[in-house]
Chains A and B, each alone.
Chain A
Amino acid sequence: MKEEEIVIDIQELKKSFGDNEVLKGMNLQLHRKENLVILGKSGTGKSVLIKCIVKLIEPDEGRLRVLDQEVKDLEADEELNKLRRRVGFLFQGGALYDSMSVRENLRFPLERLSDKPSRDEMEDRVYEALRSVGLEKAIDKMPAELSGGMKKRIALARTLILKPAIVLYDEPTTGLDPATSKEISQLILEMQQEYDISSIIITHDMACARITSNKMKVIRNGVFKYKGTYDELREKNDPWLRDFFE
């Protein structure tokens, strides 16, 4: 895959919930090894957009190609699951499985692969993923015993264990203190560089946006209103946009 290769291509994507038109014709392209940060006020459809990418939500209209596959055409569970395994998703609260230990959380996606790795191989991959987020010692802990930052890291490890080509981050630093937010942001950047991952990062946290982004897009009224690098957007004179940076 070449770096300029497009891994996600969204054209005129629309989604409404009843009378509320959330996405009004979104266009977006994500290139390989690119970190794209999406900014926008609450309720503007940022999470809806990334949930459409993995078909957790069905869009009403528009074209959505992910890793050269038209998402709308993936009807059979097996085809869709194959794509989902190549697109990691980090949820806002981490979404660790409460009834499972950290080890079981990380083994869960591996155990459901059609070419399931051996027990030893699985254990190695669990340790490798935990090492990459610096939490090998938490392997036998339950999610309830972990802090917010640890949960996010473990969730990131669980996302990375399937070695995805793309990762979608839904507000990865929300609810964390500034120091932990910075650690998570740097970890996202490290993961991109170490595993050649392309990412879409949804955030309100400008420090996170500054650290992680190669490119940024801002949603307003259901469409992308602004795009550019962090510095380019910071220099814009629109008071609405300046509120994010100040």
Chain B
Amino acid sequence: MKIAESLPESFQRFFINVAGIGRFTKQFFRQVFKPPFEFREILNQAYRLGYDSLFLVGITGFIIGMVMTLQTKPTLEQFGAESWLPSMVSVSIIREIGPVLTALICAGKVGSGIGAELGSMKVSEQIDAMTVSGANAFNYLVVTRVIATTITVPILVYYADAISLVGSYVGVNIEGNVSPSLFYKQSLDILVFSDIVPATIKTLFFGFAIGIVGCYKGATADKGTLGVGSAANSAVVISSLMIFVIDLIAVQLTQLFIR
């Protein structure tokens, strides 16, 4: 107890968050298989969280694909390896840039939205009202949102990957003249099992982390409107951090088992 108290406040907060998120995750797995199953609310949340992010994810993906191409092209030209450009861009996007960037956008948009929504429900006693009406508020509010983010983030990643390749194609053709079929053949032929499957699996974890952190911060919000803002803010910070940690672990595991 004394050791914990002697730590700086930021460290104490960090450990409190880690323990809290751990407990929340345990409760999620305890509740997820318990009826009633709120299928309609899962679909509603998946549609709301996913559909609303399409534009932002799409436009960001397009710009990143195009910028990467434009930035890399001069260097590859110096080595006479310009023909490798589509392959290089596609591998970078599919393995790393697409999943991490999309997850970070979702952490900012979806994670903060969940944190703020649940936070304001908490401070206005809506969660308590659900509980006293005999409903399972955790099941209705948390389980549905976590499942929704776990499903929608990988879908958004595929969508962002595809749009990024379109952006890259546009980038290649600003000064060149490459046919779409040649570009996509070069982009996709290079991809193998170990590029796509691990990248997809890690996006499931990204989605889960965004959902669980957003819900945890929202459900534990306090101090009125100040608490709601703080819940939204820390949902973004913690889930972004978790995305990088998960990515690091995923890269290590991929190298350990697949390569």
Binding site for B on A (CB under 8 A): 51, 54, 56, 77, 81-82, 84-85, 87-89, 91-93, 95-99, 108-109, 112-113, 155, 158, 162
The contact sample of 27 A-B pairs, CB cut-off 8 A, is A54-B132, A56-B128, A82-B134, A84-B131, A84-B133, A84-B134, A85-B134, A87-B132, A89-B132, A91-B129, A92-B125, A95-B124, A95-B129, A96-B126, A96-B129, A97-B121, A97-B130, A98-B124, A98-B126, A109-B133, A109-B135, A112-B133, A112-B136, A155-B129, A158-B133, A162-B133, A162-B134
Residue in chain B with minimal CB distance to A88: B132
Tell me if B180 counts as interface (CB < 8 A to partner A).
Answer: no
Interface string of B124-157 (1 = CB under 8 A from A): 1110111111111000000000000000000000
Docked-complex contact A95 and B135, CB < 8 angstroms: no
**Once A and B bind, how many residue pairs between them come within 8 Å at the CB atom?**
59
Q: How many residues of B contact A (CB 8 A)?
A: 16
Q: A77 with B136: in contact, given A56-B131, A84-B131, A112-B36 (CB under 8 Å)?
A: yes
Choose among B120, B125, B134 the residue that contacts A91 (Cβ–Cβ < 8 A). Answer: B125
Docked-complex contact B134 and A109, CB < 8 angstroms: yes
Interface of B is mostly: helix
Docked-complex contact A98 and B121, CB < 8 angstroms: yes
Instruction: Give the docked Cα–Cα distance between A155 and B129 (Å).
Output: 10
B residues in contact with A93, CB < 8 Å: 124-125
Docked-complex contact A91 and B133, CB < 8 angstroms: no
Instruction: Give the docked Cα–Cα distance between A82 and B117 (Å).
Output: 28
Docked-complex contact A91 and B135, CB < 8 angstroms: no
Docked-complex contact B131 and A97, CB < 8 angstroms: no
Residue from B36, B121, B128, B132 having most chain A Cβ neighbours under 10 A? B132
Instruction: Give the docked Cα–Cα distance between A162 and B134 (Å).
Output: 10
B residues in contact with A155, CB < 8 Å: 129
**Distance (whole angstroms) from the CB of B124 to the closest CB of chain A:** 6
Choose among A77, A82, A97, A112 the residue that contacts B129 (Cβ–Cβ < 8 A). Answer: A97
B residues in contact with A92, CB < 8 Å: 125
Residue in chain A with minimal CB distance to B31: A77
Instruction: Give the docked Cα–Cα distance between A162 and B129 (Å).
Output: 13
A residues in contact with B134, CB < 8 Å: 81-82, 84-85, 109, 112-113, 162
Residue in chain B with minimal CB distance to A91: B125
**Distance (whole angstroms) from the CB of A100 to the closest CB of chain B:** 10
**Distance (whole angstroms) from the CB of B90 to the closest CB of chain A:** 40
Choose among A85, A98, A99 the residue that contacts B133 (Cβ–Cβ < 8 A). Answer: A85
B residues in contact with A77, CB < 8 Å: 136
**Distance (whole angstroms) from the CB of A66 to the closest CB of chain B:** 12
B residues in contact with A84, CB < 8 Å: 131-134
Docked-complex contact A89 and B136, CB < 8 angstroms: no
**Distance (whole angstroms) from the CB of B128 to the closest CB of chain A:** 6
A residues in contact with B117, CB < 8 Å: 99
Instruction: Give the docked Cα–Cα distance between A32 and B120 (Å).
Output: 36
Instruction: Give the docked Cα–Cα distance between A112 and B36 (Å).
Output: 8
Residue in chain A with minimal CB distance to B129: A95
List the 9 closest pairs (A to B, CB-CB), nearest first.
Answer: A95-B129, A81-B134, A109-B133, A85-B134, A95-B125, A89-B132, A112-B135, A91-B125, A84-B134
